[in-house]
Amino acid sequence: MIQRLTSLFDRRPQTAETWLARMRRPGVSARDQAAFLDWLEADEDHLSQYEAAKTGLAKLSLLSGAFSADLARLRGGRIVRSQRRLVIAGGLATGAVAALAAFVLVLPGVGREPGVPAGRLYVSAPGQITDVALEDGSRVTLDSDTRMQVAYSRDARRVVLLQGAAYFDVAHNAEQPFQVAVEDRRVIVTGTRFAVALRKNQAEVSLLEGRVAIGRTDIGKARALERAVALAPGQQAVFTPGRDGLRVRRIDVEAATAWRERRLVFHDTPLSVVIDEAGRYAGRPMVIADPALADMRVTAVLPLTGEAGLIDRMDALLPITVEHTADGRALIRAD
């Protein structure tokens, strides 16, 4: 027992259990984060060991009520923002580190954005798409460069999309509705599949299955659904945060959310839009060298997985030629 306790204070823990305890501390240092990545890379079995330890810890969550005071103290802390090493690893590494890069950024119960209830902060690195299993059985896929905060209470399951995009497959629970806050709007569901995006000061809610309602009132308040706009499958709502009005349109939702399956689908789409969408995954800036190409219409399916990079795939599949410059840009020219 003494040996286990003292191992918690080792400069470099040697077991999955001690690393789990270290990474759950409030204010994990950049040095600890870097050391944790080194430990993962040292042995391919370390990833499965860490996942097993985390699963075992999750089974103890039923006892969390007995430690409410400790949890309240932890949730009053702050997340240390010096995560540069982890973000770089998430975008470039392979193997165990790439599999866990976003996962280790899930710092349970210690972070808080202004005006956001305490909960877990989930982060995906630029260029990385990450699958997340929530404790209620819901599944979420985070698009590239996305931040999402999750907090559960007795009356509701609350998620805040801070940036980027996320696809939700919500476990049905009529007694505990699921809500996603996007700036000044609330997306309320009981069980469904939908996607939410927040980019360039424009928000989109796309419904694949079930029903959602979009309003301005938190689900915990009376008449939360009053004046809310309901969506049907195949519809997308578009709005600008801070402004009145919400536009509903019918789109190919499966194609619009194909990124969750690690592919991009474009049908008769301007090349400028294709470049803008693909730029989130390309790893380097892409610039259309000839402005006349911007309006060229493109129909294509671009895989986001495999050995070939996205820019190389675009060079091979689209009627364009890509020139790599010394300053790291990819110039798009006519084929």
pLDDT means per 10 residues, the chain with 335 residues, are 43 76 62 74 77 61 38 37 31 38 41 58 92 94 95 92 96 92 92 92 94 93 89 95 93 92 93 92 89 90 84 89 90 89
Helix, strand or coil for residue 1?
coil
CA dist 285 and 322 (Å) reads 12
Task: Tell me the backbone φ, ψ of residue 146, rounded to 5 degrees.
Answer: -120, 145
State the pLDDT at residue 35: 76
State the pLDDT at residue 141: 96
> pTM of the predicted model, to two decimals?
0.66
DSSP category for residue 13: -
- Amino acid letter for position 323: E
Cβ count within 10 A of residue 331: 16
State the pLDDT at residue 46: 80
Residue 302 burial by Cβ neighbours in a 10 Å radius (0-12, 13-18, 19+): buried
State the pLDDT at residue 53: 73
**Residue environment code for 271-294, b if the CB has 16+ CB neighbours within 10 A, otherwise e:** bbebbebbbbbbbbebebbeeebe
CA dist 72 and 74 (Å) reads 5
CA dist 108 and 181 (Å) reads 19
CA dist 333 and 321 (Å) reads 5
